[in-house]
Amino acid sequence: MQDNNKINNRDAQLLAGIARQSHDDFAEFVSQYMLSIMNFVHRFFSSKSQAEDIAQDVFLKVWQNAKHWKHNEAGSARAWLYRIAYNRCIDLLRQNKPQTDDTDNLSTDITPEKILLNDSKHKQLSAAIASLPERQRTALSLCTFQGLSNKDAAKTLAISVDALESLLSRARRQLRKKLTLETENEMNGGRVINE
Amino acid sequence: MNKQRVLELLDTYGADPLAWPAEERMAATELLEQSDELKAAQHTAQELDVYLNLEAQHSAFSQQQADLLSQRTIRAVNSAYKDKLSILARLSKYMTLPRYALAFSALLSIFFVMNLMNLPQNHVQYSQSEFDDWMLTQLTGDALNEDNQTSLDFIDLVELENDTDS
């Protein structure tokens, strides 16, 4: 809790610095959150190159608009950052369909960790998460994968905490259902093959 | 806090109490420890958490890729900032000549305003009767002059006659 407060305070200081056009503060902020934002955006766009472009765009918007950030209105600096990223993704999704790069799916550096992560259960889960409605997927991503507090995630999505909890519980229920169904299918499939 | 709320917390945030809202965590944990039903629900929630935690650890991008993009982004902002500064610098260079022109015109303006202030102020106040007289003079001035001339001529003539008689 104290760590979170420390992080929030530091982020607020960095944003204040960025508002004064401090390049050092901007560099620290970008370095701290670039990977998280890239992964968050990648949940909306399967193309890695597109996700990179959008992540860069998000930080350029941070540089331009840091002076407009107000803690009371926009929540924590993290919530504000994710809100920019979320809005950018939604705008682009409305404008055009996401691109898919076949080359992105080709793994160039196969490591034991990746092999473990690319097991069938992980693929099932990724597919199940991808099939969730956009709001549920974003709520789950913010709270579970990006580690935002429920209040910050609610601010990011511009909804109440109650509405966020509803999205999260529906998302988790759907995931459980899909994973259970697919496990059952696998088991049934396995029996057929064995027979 | 009641059982229903703990079930909602498990359903919403998962089995790990650290993921629950801080203000409800303690009360919910106490209730959970007292109920087998809630413990079973926690166990069910834990199964999904295992996969979600695995997914959370999975990153589509490496830290190296993120660092490269960070550097690119910082460079883009720096170069845009430098461009902005250089535009201002160039503008200020070209502004040297207008600066002198501005200073000169400012001096001229001050001089002109000071002269305006020193102009004679002929604002004489006239009463209505004086104004009427003046108007009458303007309208009938020539005629009066002629009359005056005539009357002078007449006086001269009478004086001349008197002199002749005497």
Asked if A169's CB is within 8 angstroms of B61's CB, the reply is no
* pLDDT over threshold 80, residue B49: yes
According to the model, what pLDDT value does residue A192 have? 43
* pLDDT over threshold 60, residue A191: no
pLDDT, one tens digit per residue, over A81-136 is 999 999 999 988 888 755 555 444 434 444 445 445 556 777 788 888 888 999 99
Asked if B70's CB is within 8 angstroms of A27's CB, the reply is yes
The percentage of residues in chain B with a pLDDT greater than 90, rounded to a whole number, is 4
User: Mean pLDDT throughout B20-47?
Assistant: 88
Any chain B CB within 8 A of the CB of A105?
Answer: no
Q: What ipTM was predicted for this assembly? A: 0.73
According to the model, what pLDDT value does residue A105 have? 43
According to the model, what pLDDT value does residue B159 have? 64
* pLDDT over threshold 90, residue B3: no
Nearest CA in chain B to A109: B62
Query: Does residue A152 or residue A124 have the better pLDDT?
Result: A152
According to the model, what pLDDT value does residue A119 have? 63
pLDDT, one tens digit per residue, over A23-69 is 999 999 999 999 999 999 998 888 889 999 999 999 999 999 888 88
DSSP per-residue string spanning B8-70:
HHHHHH-S-GGGS-HHHHHHHHHHHHH-HHHHHHHHHHHHHHHHHHHHHH--SS-HHHHHHHH
* Residues ≥6 apart with Cβ < 8 Å to B60: A38, A39, A42, A48, A51
Any chain B CB within 8 A of the CB of A31?
Answer: yes
Any chain B CB within 8 A of the CB of A122?
Answer: yes
Any chain B CB within 8 A of the CB of A55?
Answer: yes
Q: Which residues of A touch B58 (CB under 8 A)?
A: 117, 122
Q: Which two tokens stand for residue A83?
A: 């809100």
User: Mean pLDDT throughout B52-58?
Assistant: 82
* pLDDT over threshold 80, residue B119: no
According to the model, what pLDDT value does residue A52 have? 92
Tell me the C-alpha distance between B154 and A113, whole Å.
137
Neighbour-count burial for A147-159, b at 16+ CB within 10 Å, e otherwise: ebbbebbbbbbeb
Any chain B CB within 8 A of the CB of A86?
Answer: no
Lowest mean pLDDT segment, chosen from A73-82, B7-16, B154-163: B154-163
